[in-house]
């Protein structure tokens, strides 16, 4: 799973899956652009990686910032081959009737509009060059309701449909578009879920969550032809067959 000469842009790259993915792709030989609102964190990670990485402050809910980051990445590395739409939020957690509508809308802005902004910004260039891979971070919550997660479930269901729609429109133009449903991962998001005390997910023992390096490895595998049967769909890292293909078993 070598990525020598390839350029990868990762949103939400300051921690968790995004940060692990940046390191994994860089270790595989890729140039990486790290996007996040947390400027100090992505600067630190990019500095650790070295000259093959750049840090770009970006709020994915603002299209102009995403488009600017895509242009800056292409200029820095001479193109763009892979987009990982990873930025996401789980808050607000709570019953629908008690949820602040503004907070609910903010999650939609990040989780749904942020993915659409990434797709819209990179697809023309990828179509023009005749190739490109886009991976949207999905969730089991895209396919079933979870108590207290109305914003998150709704947004991830929308992301799943964006994956399907973009694949339908652009597969014949050379683009590979698919989603990764990683399961529960030992990240800050899981700490927020546990602190909420709502629904069975918050009751899970920390030991059952997989490390962020696992989905990072899966993302690398998904950039290869081995993942082509899943184009336009979600790859579930909860499945043993997928874990075996990725090399986690």
Q: What is the pLDDT of residue 47?
A: 97
Average pLDDT value for residue range 175-190: 88
Q: Is residue 174 part of a domain?
A: yes
CA quadruple 17, 18, 20, 24: dihedral sign: positive
Which residues have a Cβ under 8 Å from the Cβ of 61 and sit 6 or more positions away?
A: 106, 109, 110, 113, 114, 117
Range of the domain at 202: 7-246
Q: Is residue 203 part of a domain?
A: yes
Q: What predicted TM-score, i.e. pTM, was given to this entire model?
A: 0.93
Report the share of the chain in percent with pLDDT over 70. Answer: 100
Strand order through the sheet with 234-236:
53-57, 31-36, 7-11, 82-85, 132-137, 175-181, 234-236
CA 37, CA 110: separation in Å to the nearest integer?
11
Q: What is the pLDDT of residues 70-120, one digit of tens each?
A: 999 999 999 999 999 999 998 899 999 999 999 999 999 999 999 999 999
* Rounded alpha-carbon distances, angstroms, from residue 102 to 91, 106, 163, 193, 232: 11, 6, 26, 20, 31
Judged by DSSP in three states, 231 sits in coil
Q: What is the pLDDT of residues 40-65, one digit of tens each?
A: 999 999 999 999 999 999 999 999 99
How many structural domains compose the chain? 1
Q: What is the pLDDT of residue 4?
A: 95
Q: Is residue 229 part of a domain?
A: yes
| Lookup: tokens for 209 | 């969550």
Q: Is residue 2 part of a domain?
A: no
CATH of the domain at 24: 3.40.50.720
Q: Is residue 1 part of a domain?
A: no
CA 124, CA 18: separation in Å to the nearest integer?
24
Average pLDDT value for residue range 34-45: 96
From the list 63, 152, 160, 230, the catalytic residue is 152
Which residues have a Cβ under 8 Å from the Cβ of 44 and sit 6 or more positions away?
A: none
Q: What is the pLDDT of residues 191-230, one digit of tens each?
A: 888 888 888 788 877 677 889 999 999 999 999 999 999 9
C-beta separation of 92 from 107 below 8 A: yes
152 is catalytic: yes
Q: Is residue 108 part of a domain?
A: yes
CA quadruple 131, 84, 137, 240: dihedral sign: positive
CA 83, CA 69: separation in Å to the nearest integer?
12
């Amino acid at each position: 799973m070598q990525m020598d000469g390839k350029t990868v842009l990762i949103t939400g790259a300051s921690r968790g899956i995004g940060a692990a993915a940046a390191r994994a792709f860089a270790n595989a030989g890729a140039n990486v652009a790290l996007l996040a609102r947390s400027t100090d964190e992505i600067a630190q990670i990019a500095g650790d990686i070295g000259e093959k990485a750049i840090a770009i402050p970006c709020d994915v809910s603002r299209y102009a910032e995403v488009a600017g980051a895509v242009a800056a990445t292409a200029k820095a590395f001479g193109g763009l081959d892979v987009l990982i739409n990873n930025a996401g939020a789980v808050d607000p957690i709570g019953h629908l009737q008690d949820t602040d509508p503004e907070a609910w809308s903010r999650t939609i802005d990040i989780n749904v509009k942020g993915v659409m902004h990434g797709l819209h910004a990179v697809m023309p260039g990828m179509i023009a060059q005749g190739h490109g891979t886009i991976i949207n971070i999905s969730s089991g919550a895209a396919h079933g309701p979870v108590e207290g997660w109305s914003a998150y479930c709704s947004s991830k269901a929308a992301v799943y449909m964006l994956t399907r729609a973009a694949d339908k429109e652009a597969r014949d133009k050379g683009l590979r578009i698919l989603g990764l449903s990683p399961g529960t991962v030992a990240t800050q998001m899981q700490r927020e879920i546990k602190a909420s005390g709502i629904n069975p997910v918050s009751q899970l023992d920390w030991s059952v969550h997989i490390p962020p390096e696992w989905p990072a490895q899966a993302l690398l595998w998904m950039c290869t032809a081995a993942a082509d049967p899943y184009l336009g769909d979600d790859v579930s890292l909860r499945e043993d067959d997928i874990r075996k293909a990725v090399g986690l078993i």
